Amino acid sequence: MTYCVAIKLAEGLVFASDSRTNAGFDQIATFRKNFVFGHPGERFIALLTSGNLATSQSVISLLQSRGNEPHNDHLISRTSMYDAAVLVGATLREVVERDSAGHAAGTDLGCSLLIGGQIGTEPPRLFQIYPEGNFIEATRETPYLQIGESKYGKPILDRVIHYRCPMALAWQAALISFDSTMKSNLSVGMPLDMLAYRKDRLDKGHHVRIRED
């Protein structure tokens, strides 16, 4: 299990994810679930993943490798965040269809993703991509999206987060959301990856990794 949250604000975007992956409490490992794509001065795109680790790693690997091949359709060539979300959803479906043939019926290969960022002069946008590859977009009325073990960390977000919320307060709320989740579910754990992106900067954002020590 994992937990990821992304918040869309007037000032920009905040992302947070844990890094614990387990197949039972005696098989716990650490894998990063927060990935940044972009080109300084042109675009910033962040992806957070939850669900089947093999599927999510394949999706990220395909997006990264195709971005290094100039003739391929990739995130760096998309002209809007909506088009970027379409590409990620299509890549997810491609991986699931490719791998389904080698697994028994009923095997859950699905993963969910959060994708947010800014391309050019377009305002920052944030999407949640479902295991089927379709997606929804965050709005001013619903400015945050969660994937994974979301229920324990939701109350603080509901109380604090709104579109005009200061970025520093949203950062703190995300941390409290994770603290509540980790205290209630041992399958979510540190290190945490926190990422903040300020509107119109088109840089790599500010990343912090928080460890237990």
The CATH number given to whatever domain includes residue 150 is 3.60.20.10
pLDDT the model gives residue 164: 98
pLDDT the model gives residue 106: 63
Is cis: bond before 191, omega within 30 of 0?
Answer: yes
pLDDT the model gives residue 187: 81
Task: Give the chain's residues under pLDDT 50.
Answer: none
Q: Closest Cα partner for 18 from 136, 143, 185, 137?
A: 185
How is residue 42 written in tokens? Answer: 């042109």
Angstrom distance (rounded) from CA 166 to CA 122 = 21
Scored b (16 or more CB within 10 A) or e, 143-160 reads bbbbbbbbebbeebbeeb
User: Which region holds residue 38: left if phi is over 0, alpha if psi is between -120 and 50, else beta?
Assistant: left
Q: Say how many C-beta atoms besides its own lie within 10 A of residue 142's C-beta.
A: 13
Range of the domain at 18: 3-210
pLDDT the model gives residue 198: 98
How many structural domains does the chain have?
1
pLDDT the model gives residue 105: 60
Residue found by looking up tokens 């073990």 in the block: 149
How is residue 68 written in tokens? Answer: 């290094």
Distance between the two ends of the chain, CA-based, in angstroms? 22
